[in-house]
Amino acid sequence: MSIRDNAWAMAHALEKKEISAVELANQHYEQIASVDKDVHAFLYLDKEGALSQAKEVDKKRAAGEKLSPLAGVPLALKDVMTQKGVPTTCGSKMLEGWRPPYDSTVVTKLKSAGIVILGKTNMDEFAMGSSTENSAFGPTHNPWDLTRIPGGSGGGSSASLAAFEAPLAIGTDTGGSIRQPAAVTGTVGVKPTYGGVSRYGLVAFSSSLDQAGPCARTVLDAALLHQVIAGFDPKDSTSINRAVPDVVAAAKKKDIKGMKIGVVKQLAGDGYQKGVENKFKEAVAELVKLGAEIIEVSCPNFEYALAAYYLIAPSECSSNLARFDSMRFGLRIGDDGVKGAEEVMNLTRQAGFGREVKRRIILGTYALSSGYYDAYYGSAQKVRTLIKRDFDAAFEKCDVLISPTAPTTAFKIGEKSNDPLAMYLNDIATIPVNMAGIGGMSLPCGLAEEDNLPVGFQIMSPAMKDDRMYLVGGALEAALLSKWGKPILDFAPKLAGSK
C-alpha cells in the first residue's frame, strides 16, 4: 500500500484492514508536508477534522458495520465548495477567513460515504481562469514542471492528485475547470451532465454552466467518486430528478466493440500544438484497435461557443457576485461609523476582488444593461441552442464525441497572465460541453514530443448518458496503460521530498 496507489486499491487495503483510515490520512499529510511548499495545491488543511472523520470510519469498520466502497479514502476539496466550519475562500480576499455555517450537498454526501476530506485546494479567484494564477493566495505549480501552470480554475485539485497529496479530489467545471487541469497534469477529470451533481453549497460563478465533478488518477476512481456525489437534490432547483447512470459498471466494462465514436472536425487544426494532435491521433488509433468505429462529425456552430461563453459567464457572474456586498459575510473595508453603506461596499469590492473578477463583472454588467440585453446575453443563449443542435445531430450518428481537451500542454506561469484572450483560448475545446450542458471527461493520452508534458483526451457524452464516457474512457485507459507499461504519472519527474 503506497500513496501512489489509486483510490480503489486504497479502499481495498482499508477493507482488508492492511491500513487504517487514520494511517492513510497521515501518510497523505506527510506527503503534503514534503511537497506542498513547492506545489501549493492546498489553501487550508483540516487535519483535526480529517483525522476525526478517519477515526470514525476505523471505529465503524472495527465494529463490523457495512461501509460505503470509498470509506476512509482521503480527498482534496476545491475551495469553492462550502464545508461547515472550514475556511472557504474561493481563492479570493473577499472571503478570507469566512467559515461557512453549512455543508454543501457534495460535502454532505462525501461525509456520509466516509470519505476523509484533507483540506481545501487552490483555484483561480471565484473559478475564473485557466491557470490558477488568479488566486489571491498565489499560484499552484504543476507537479510535472514547477515553472508551469496546473491548469485552472481547479489547478489545486488536479495538482494534488499528480503530486500524490490525495488520491481523489472534487472540482467544478464552468468552461473546463475540471477537464483542462486534468489534461495538463496527466490526471482524470469529469464534468457530469449539468444537473447531475447538486450545486447547493457551490459558490456560484455562472449558475447555468457551473457543475461539480470528480477528479482522480484513474477512470474507475473518478466513477466511484461520481457515484458518491451524483443524484437529485431538492436544494438545487436545476438538479435532475432521474436515476444516476451506472458509471462504475461502465468504467469496469472495457468493451467498446462496435461503438460509434465521432471526432469533432472543428476541435483541431489552428492553435492546436503538434504534439497534442499527434497524441490524440495515436489514442484514436487505439480506439480503432479496440473495435470502435471512428466517424468525422462537423459542429459548425462551435465557432461561436467561445464568444457566447464570454457573454454568458460574465453576465451571470456580475449578477452572482453582487452578493459580496460586505453586509452579511466576508470582507468589510472602511466601516468607520461615518461612511455610508455604498461607500463601504465600493471600498470592499475594490480591495476584495482581483483584476480578472473585476474585468468579468464589468463585462457582464455592460452585457446585461438595458438596451444591450437581447443583443448580448439573449444572442448568446440562442447560440447555446445552436451548439446543442450540433451536438444532437452528432449524437444521432455517434455514441460519444472526442477531441483533445486543451489545445496545448501546460504553459509557463506568467506566460499568458497579461493576455486574457490568449488565456481564454485554452478553453476552446471544453466550452461547447458546458454550453450544451452535456457530460465531458478528460483522461491522459500521452506526453507531447516537444515538451514531454501530458496531453488530455476529451470524451463527450449526451446529457444523462454519463456512463458512455466512462465506458470509452475505461477502455482507452486500459489500452494505453498496457502500451506504456506503467501509469503516466510514473513518467513525471519526482518532486523533492516526495514518497
Residues serving a catalytic function are 78, 153, 177
DSSP letters spanning 195-259: TSB--TTBPPSSTTT--EEEEESSHHHHHHHHHHHBS--TT-TT---SPPP-HHHHHHH---TT-
Least separation, in Å, of the C-beta of 423 and other proteins?
Answer: 21
Least separation, in Å, of the C-beta of 316 and other proteins?
Answer: 10
Task: Identify which of residues 258 and 336 has a Cβ nearer to other proteins in the complex.
Answer: 336
373 near other proteins, judged by CB under 8 A: no
Q: What 3-state class would DSSP assign to 395?
A: helix
350 near other proteins, judged by CB under 8 A: no
Which one among 60, 111, 253, 339 touches other proteins, defined by CB under 8 A? 339
For 36-60, give the secondary structure using H, E and C: HHHHCCEEEECHHHHHHHHHHHHHH
- Taking CB under 8 A as the binding criterion, the range among 135-143, 148-156, 327-335, 356-364 that sits at the site for other proteins is 327-335
24 near other proteins, judged by CB under 8 A: no
Task: Identify which of residues 101 and 258 has a Cβ nearer to other proteins in the complex.
Answer: 101
Least separation, in Å, of the C-beta of 285 and other proteins?
Answer: 31
| Rounded CA separation 260/307 (Å) | 30
Task: Identify which of residues 18 and 303 has a Cβ nearer to other proteins in the complex.
Answer: 303
469 near other proteins, judged by CB under 8 A: no
319 near other proteins, judged by CB under 8 A: no
Least separation, in Å, of the C-beta of 379 and other proteins?
Answer: 4
385 near other proteins, judged by CB under 8 A: yes
| Rounded CA separation 497/499 (Å) | 7
- Taking CB under 8 A as the binding criterion, the range among 24-32, 247-255, 328-336, 484-492 that sits at the site for other proteins is 328-336
- Which triple of cell numbers denotes residue 141? 505549480
438 near other proteins, judged by CB under 8 A: yes
Which one among 116, 159, 188, 240 touches other proteins, defined by CB under 8 A? 240
> Which residue type sits at 49?
G
- Taking CB under 8 A as the binding criterion, the range among 20-28, 92-100, 251-259, 274-282 that sits at the site for other proteins is 92-100
| Rounded CA separation 484/479 (Å) | 9
Identify the sign of the CA torsion 68, 70, 71, 76.
negative
Which one among 23, 98, 366, 487 touches other proteins, defined by CB under 8 A? 98
Least separation, in Å, of the C-beta of 237 and other proteins?
Answer: 4
Binding mask 262-301 for other proteins (x = CB under 8 A): ---------------------------------------x
CB atoms within 10 A of CB 359: 14
> Which residue type sits at 316?
E
* 423-453 burial code (b ≥16 CB/10 A, e <16): bbbbbbbbbbbbbbbbbbbbbbbbbbeebeb
Cβ contacts of 371 within 8 Å, gap of 6 or more: none
437 near other proteins, judged by CB under 8 A: yes
- Which triple of cell numbers denotes residue 213? 465533478
> Which residue type sits at 279?
K
436 near other proteins, judged by CB under 8 A: yes
Task: Identify which of residues 84 and 254 has a Cβ nearer to other proteins in the complex.
Answer: 84
| Rounded CA separation 342/364 (Å) | 20
Which one among 328, 396, 418, 486 touches other proteins, defined by CB under 8 A? 328
| Rounded CA separation 144/147 (Å) | 9
Q: Cα 411 to the chain's mean position, in Å?
A: 18
**CB distance 167 to 10 below 8 Å:** yes
341 near other proteins, judged by CB under 8 A: yes
104 near other proteins, judged by CB under 8 A: no
- Taking CB under 8 A as the binding criterion, the range among 49-57, 143-151, 373-381, 440-448 that sits at the site for other proteins is 373-381
Binding residues for other proteins (CB under 8 A):
98-102, 193-195, 208, 234, 237-238, 240, 301, 304, 307-308, 311, 326-332, 335, 337, 339-341, 343-344, 375, 378-386, 388, 436-438, 463-464
